[in-house]
A and B are shown apart, each in its own frame.
Chain A
Amino acid sequence: MPLVVARDLVKRFGSLTAVDRISFSVERGEVVGFLGPNGAGKSTAMRIISGFMEPTSGQAWIDGHDSHTDPIAARRRLGYLPEGAPAYADMTVGAFLEFIASMHGMTKPQANARLAELVDRVDLADVWNQRIESLSKGFKRRVAIAQALVHDPDALILDEPTDGLDPIQKYEMRDLIRSIAPHKAIIISTHILEEVEAVCTRAIIIAKGRMLADATPAELLSRAPGHGTLALALATADPQGAIDILSKHPGVGRVDVVQRVNGVTRIAIRTAKTRPSTDEITSLLGRSNIAVTEFYMERATLDDVFRHITIHGSEN
């Protein structure tokens, strides 16, 4: 059985269906990104899997233990970072993490050994004796992450682990997630798409409580319209000549002007059948003295995929 399994999770708040039949599973070594706009139901789904909230229907298991009928066993194997990275503001970092360790049943020596290791990993040594309320956002987030890692759980659910961090802190956080990923099953939620590409092995797109896609980031990218289009930059402000020439090529369907900046024009070649080779294009345009300064493949961003999928509904 995979480490984390969710089956047909449904959560209704009155007439609102926040989570609508969500099913998926996460194996050890996988990092699954929960991707969706705000209010999509990501946090609600995570709360249900962690056992904090009861579903209207459906079940969730952590390492084979139902998070509602066998919650203690499930929670022992789970590290959970709730939305907003809460922590007891009036405690020092050290006291807080020692409290969490002891609540996980660790003895004082066990806790000390584990925390000593964790402090380096999450880089909290400098603020160990500071009260949590006095910390910067980045440190607060790290404290909350450390809290989820104290008992070295097999499964991790991290609700927006990089929210509100500056670029360097984001980079470090992703590094941390990547470094622990091989030994754990990890679910992270985010609305930052680059994050999915940076750390996730799989992405699940959720909108209005429904799962719209479950695929690797590469698969998702390939679904985006325009992904893999050949584009070129021309050293001219007037691309009409080039467009006329290229349009005559049998492999070319349409040529679009993408951008005109500082006397350089970027055009994209939408291919009909076979794409003309770059050599072919260079010589075709060279005959009319149009210089190609750059060739590149248009790369769809996950933003494009995301917009495409959330607007056009479900998979395919």
Chain B
Amino acid sequence: MRPALLVFRREFAAYFSTPVAAVFLIVFLALAAGMTFLVSGFFDRGQADLSGFFFWHPWLFLVLMPAIAMRLWAEERRSGTIEILMTLPVESWQIVLGKWLAAWAFAALALVLTMPLWITVNLLGSPDNGVILSSYIGSWLMAGAFLALAAAISALTKSQVLAFIAATAVSFLFVMAGFDLVISAVRQWAPGFVIDAVRSMSFFANFQHITDGVLELPSIIFFVSLIAFSLWLNVRIIEIKKAA
């Protein structure tokens, strides 16, 4: 595990070596607050909860998580440092894990910075703090899934822009998997169980299960296994690229 932690430390620090981190955090907080107060009408609803805040997370993450993860591998390929990294005496999965953990920790920081909202609703009323906590955990898990997908895609290219666009496109399919847009495309040819499977992969639906109340186990398992699968895919992409 030590190499993974060393990679984690280096990558996490790298986020703060340029103003990009600060810009990102400001954009995230501004968008999250803007959506909550202006679009969801936080004050007009007269309810002390954060559902108007969490509702937007799948859409915000759709763009913001690929932005966090796009540089993880593409930048290494562009600058050539990947040759140094991949000839160090450590396993590929340790590097893959360390990089993803760094991005995930950065996402955690972004979420932690929205805590004033939580404090606000507690001052205004008496929200169900259990639901809010499970929503935060669910949001973080969903962010992890977005990041793991985007990191794997980033390993395919040396262009950060390309990595960002491709990751956003793939993430969009996952967010929309429960909606007619995707389902109708599948319904033409696929048997029922495939349609159900596609529908069950919807980020939006799975996240909603979590924010609706309890931390629902199937949804948690979904996000965790998608993270695990994407990390595995990331390792495979790295290995296959070596032979290409």
Which of the segments A33-41, A72-80, A220-228 contacts the partner chain?
Answer: A72-80
Which chain A residue lies CB-closest to B86? Answer: A52
Structural contact, B86 and A72, CB atoms closer than 8 A: no
Residues of A within 8 A of B243 (CB): 53-54
A148 to B243, CA, bound (A): 23
Contact with A along B57-71 (1 / 0, CB 8 A): 000000000000000
Structural contact, B242 and A53, CB atoms closer than 8 A: yes
Structural contact, A72 and B6, CB atoms closer than 8 A: no
A100 to B89, CA, bound (A): 10
Contact with B along A70-97 (1 / 0, CB 8 A): 0111011010101110111111000000
Residue B187 lies at the interface, judged by CB distance under 8 Å to chain A: no
A53 to B243, CA, bound (A): 6
Number of B residues near A (Cβ < 8 Å) is 21
Structural contact, A91 and B17, CB atoms closer than 8 A: yes
Structural contact, B14 and A90, CB atoms closer than 8 A: yes
Residue B225 lies at the interface, judged by CB distance under 8 Å to chain A: no
Which chain A residue lies CB-closest to B14? Answer: A90
Residue A99 lies at the interface, judged by CB distance under 8 Å to chain B: yes
Residue A113 lies at the interface, judged by CB distance under 8 Å to chain B: no
Residues of B within 8 A of A51 (CB): 86-87
Residue B112 lies at the interface, judged by CB distance under 8 Å to chain A: no
B93 to chain A, nearest CB (A): 12
B217 to chain A, nearest CB (A): 38
Residue A282 lies at the interface, judged by CB distance under 8 Å to chain B: no
A203 to B83, CA, bound (A): 25
Contacts A86-B79, A86-B81, A88-B14 known; A103 to B88 CB distance under 8 Å? yes
Structural contact, B6 and A83, CB atoms closer than 8 A: no
Residue A47 lies at the interface, judged by CB distance under 8 Å to chain B: yes
Residues of B within 8 A of A54 (CB): 242-243
Within 8 A of A (CB), among B1-28: 2-3, 6-7, 10, 14, 17-18
Which chain B residue lies CB-closest to A151? Answer: B89
Contact with A along B11-50 (1 / 0, CB 8 A): 0001001100000000000000000000000000000000
A103 to B84, CA, bound (A): 11
Residue B80 lies at the interface, judged by CB distance under 8 Å to chain A: yes
Contacts A80-B84, A82-B84, A147-B84 known; A90 to B89 CB distance under 8 Å? no
24 contacts between A and B (CB under 8 A): A52-B242, A53-B242, A54-B243, A72-B90, A72-B91, A73-B89, A75-B87, A75-B88, A75-B89, A76-B89, A80-B83, A80-B87, A82-B80, A83-B80, A84-B80, A86-B84, A88-B10, A90-B18, A100-B84, A102-B6, A104-B88, A104-B89, A131-B17, A147-B84
Binding site for B on A (CB under 8 A): 47, 50-54, 71-73, 75-76, 78, 80, 82-84, 86-91, 99-100, 102-105, 131, 147
Binding site for A on B (CB under 8 A): 2-3, 6-7, 10, 14, 17-18, 79-81, 83-84, 86-91, 242-243
